[in-house]
Amino acid sequence: MIRKGLLIITLSCTLSVFLTSCRIDPTSVVEIASEIAAVSTEIQSTIQAQQTPYPSQTHIITNTAVPSRTPSIPTAAANHATISMISTAKPTQNTTPGTATPDIRPLAKQWQIWPVIPKLTDNAKRIFQKGVNEFGTNPHIFSKIGDCQSNPNVFMGVYDMGYEGLLADEDRYLQEAIDYYQGAFAIESLAVHDGMSVASVLTTAWADPKICEKGENSLACELRVHNPSIMFINLGTNWIASLEMDVYYDYLSEIVEYLIARGILPILSSKADNVEGGHRINEITAQVARDYDIPFFNFWKSAQGLKNHGLSVENPIYLSVSAWNWRNYQALKLLHSTGKELGLF
């Protein structure tokens, strides 16, 4: 604990200048749209060759500004009935004396072949249902923990902007998720900040003093203010590679345990970059997802068919514009799949 405490202080000081911005220059919107249009054919053919579904329509964002006012958020009490609890019976055990039911789930070291969109386990469903039924979390609200690449101007906020034509004909079914989570896409999470890491989100030094209460860290503040039932955890890029990876595991586990204890379903995301080398962060993230039996959104896998694997050529710690759009689409599919499995729509 002393070692972790010292690392929080170190990371809070260091990471405050590690990443400074993901802001989009509004004067480059035309060039951005042209870039997306130019690479759409290449993306389409590459991903189809790998048998990865891709929408036939390129999701061109012509206005990346986030609405100046967050759309009204539905209140939990007025908009949902009690979520039906699934059976809590344990899986059937092998009756042979001295043997246990084998764990057939893929290992964390095999994370690269894990599916992009995970299926919910019974444990994941129970976490969500307990949150809604016992803690009063809002089933219409999801949120996120991350750095500037989780801000709504680049991560899913477009689905709250009212644009027409965002979905291809074969993707119209995803409108169910857009309607159900309306207002949540544009939320400016208090657990999202330039340079955010697994350590900094747990310290009060990064909490917004204008909104957060005294002694409240960014994570606790976000849960109190927006009351989400699902939390995307998009972290890892800002971890200092020279630090021990087992400490990263400890911090990420602490975040996951904090959320689960409050009935909030964590969705852990793999990242497209490899700044630490050996994709060690993604493997650790997969290990935490496996250990806590929670969803693992394998964005890395989905980005492999994109130009430069979805990374900016100029600064490969950032996603490219086309990858932002592709991640939005994949995350929307994940929200839809999750909502369907939970019986929300």
The string of DSSP codes covering 140-195 is EEEEEEESGGGSTTTTTGGGGTT-SS-S-GGGGGGHHHHHHTTTTTT---TTB-TT
Chain-wide mean pLDDT for the chain?
Answer: 81
Q: What is the band of 99 on the pLDDT scale with cuts at 50, 70, 90?
A: low
Q: Residue 261 CA to chain centroid, in angstroms?
A: 19
Could you give the CA distance from residue 80 to residue 124 in angstroms, rounded to a whole number?
19
pLDDT score, position 74: 53
Is 6 a residue whose pLDDT tops 50?
no
Pairwise pLDDT comparison (13 vs 158), residue with the higher score: 158
Query: For the segment 165-222, what is each residue's pLDDT rounded down to a tens digit?
Result: 899 999 999 999 999 999 999 999 999 999 999 999 999 999 999 999 999 999 999 9
Is 345 a residue whose pLDDT tops 60?
yes
What domains lie within the chain, and their CATH numbers?
Answer: 2-66+107-341 (3.40.50.1110)
Q: What is the band of 343 on the pLDDT scale with cuts at 50, 70, 90?
A: very high
Pairwise pLDDT comparison (6 vs 99), residue with the higher score: 99
Nearest to 219 by CA among 181, 252, 244: 252
Q: What average pLDDT score do residues 261-278 get?
A: 97
